[in-house]
Amino acid sequence: MESATERAYAHLTEFLAARGVDVEAIEERLRSQRVETPSWGYGNSGTRFKVFPQLGVPRDAFEKISDAAEVHQFTGICPSVAIHIPWDRVDDYGELKTHAESLGMEIGAVNPNLFQEEEYRLGSVCNPDPAVRRKATDHLLECIEVAGEVGSDVLSLWFADGTNYAGQDSFVERRHRMHECLSEVYAAMTEGMRMLLEYKPFEPAFYHTDLPDWGAALTMCQKLGERAEVLIDLGHHLQGTNIEHIVGMLLEEGRLGGFHFNNRKYADDDLIVASINPFELFLIYVELVEAEESTRIDYMIDQAHNIEPKIEAMILSVMNLQEAYAKALLVDRTKLAEARRAGDVLLAHRLLLDAYNTDVRPLCAQVREGLGAAVDPIATFRESGYAQRVAGERREGLGAGWG
């Protein structure tokens, strides 16, 4: 007997085929979708006021990868996990790599931490003290070595560097210091390794931030070399910023290297992707899907789940990304180009709305099932009993978190 999901899938594919959509081609693209999850998204986290501990959170990097493997098992498209150093520092990175491989996983981007040491009060690579800059640069070089040991080819950089008061430091000198440090790091990268440079308009620096926007990140990457690319974080923008426009411009420049998915209502990025503005996520994917066949773009989640169950929240995030991607693939590009050339504003807009308003959940469920994942990932994960089991196994010791 057909299930409700199978019936919905049959109706949807019949509807799409009648509109001339190549459903098999879209399913192939969906099967090839890849999203990296972050190790820090599985540990304890919170706001600036309090960290909220949860039962069963991982105690070390090994257990974080085990939790990430659960997300991949039930969604089918998350075979890699990003790590954060020193939060995920271990004695033997080869052992960590082997552990990941035993779970069908690999280690993705390596993220240095240059914002929690006392010495970084006035910045890291932009600090006026050369000794502090030396420490920061050495940490970046350490992360290149870690990447080599775990098999990663991505160094993902975000700097909290900036100033709080006018006159505190020279904007120009700070940029020169950053370039000097990053030039040394860039030169030390192994062949084929990429540097992704992230930006953020404010916080924790409240007067100025050294990498406040895509232009500052882009020009720094251009100074460094071809293997330095910009990393967009969805939540790192001022209210009203047209992020899909930024995506288009960076793609045109050939410098969009990665995208951090999350969402925010006001000023930070710790909400589940698409929880606030799903249409914006769809529009971003509309720009991305045309370029990804010829351009490598690393898709990563960067979220901290403070009050919701962490693995379930990550699964929901991935499902939201699958659905947004599927909708973007449904856009009739031929008709859209014709409408644009004809100056038919409303038709062009309606073509996007037609794709966005399509219920693609049965399509995504079918693709997941074909990948050996789950039709309903969250329900299936709950039925697995994994959360209850690790809550019992991880009672001893301190749960991993920030720091």
What is the secondary structure of 41-79 as a DSSP string? GGSBEE-SS-EE--TT--SSHHHHHHHHHHHHHHHS---
In tens, the pLDDT along 192-234 reads 999 999 999 998 999 999 999 999 999 999 999 999 999 999 9
Domain assignment present for residue 47? The answer is yes
Output the pLDDT for position 397.
77
Give the mean pLDDT of 165-175: 98
In tens, the pLDDT along 347-358 reads 999 999 999 999
Q: Left, alpha or beta for 184 (phi > 0: left; psi -120 to 50: alpha)?
A: alpha
Domain assignment present for residue 129? The answer is yes
**pLDDT bucket at 57, cuts 50 / 70 / 90:** very high
List the beta bridge partners of residue 248. none
Domain assignment present for residue 3? The answer is no
Q: How far is CA 267 from CA 45, 111, 235, 272, in A?
A: 17, 22, 7, 14
Are 237 and 217 spatial neighbours (Cβ–Cβ below 8 Å)?
A: no
**pLDDT bucket at 4, cuts 50 / 70 / 90:** confident
Report how far residue 347's alpha carbon sits from residue 334's, in angstroms, rounded to the nearest whole number. 12
Give the mean pLDDT of 242-270: 94
Domain assignment present for residue 21? The answer is no
**pLDDT bucket at 51, cuts 50 / 70 / 90:** confident
Strands (E), 168-290: 194-198, 208-209, 228-233, 256-261
**pLDDT bucket at 294, cuts 50 / 70 / 90:** confident
**pLDDT bucket at 396, cuts 50 / 70 / 90:** confident
In tens, the pLDDT along 30-47 reads 999 999 999 999 998 887
Output the pLDDT for position 310.
96
Report how far residue 398's alpha carbon sits from residue 53's, in angstroms, rounded to the nearest whole number. 10
Give the mean pLDDT of 385-400: 90
Whether residue 185 has pLDDT greater than 90: yes
Domain assignment present for residue 11? The answer is no
pTM of the model: 0.96
In tens, the pLDDT along 225-251 reads 999 999 999 999 999 999 999 999 999
Domain assignment present for residue 302? The answer is yes
Output the pLDDT for position 402.
67
Output the pLDDT for position 59.
95
pLDDT averaged over the chain?
96
Are 342 and 371 spatial neighbours (Cβ–Cβ below 8 Å)?
A: no
Domain assignment present for residue 8? The answer is no
Task: Kindly report the backbone phi and psi dihedral angles of residue 19, in degrees, each rounded to the nearest multiple of 5, phi listed first.
Answer: -90, 5
Strands (E), 222-365: 228-233, 256-261, 298-301
Q: Which residues contact 242 (CB under 8 A, 6 or more apart)?
A: none
Whether residue 399 has pLDDT greater than 80: no
Range of the domain at 276: 31-393
What is the number of structural domains in the chain? 1
Are 106 and 93 spatial neighbours (Cβ–Cβ below 8 Å)?
A: no
Domain assignment present for residue 12? The answer is no
**pLDDT bucket at 403, cuts 50 / 70 / 90:** low
CATH number of the structural domain spanning residue 207: 3.20.20.150
Output the pLDDT for position 278.
97
Two tokens at 292?
A: 């990804």
Single-letter code of the amino acid located at 290:
E
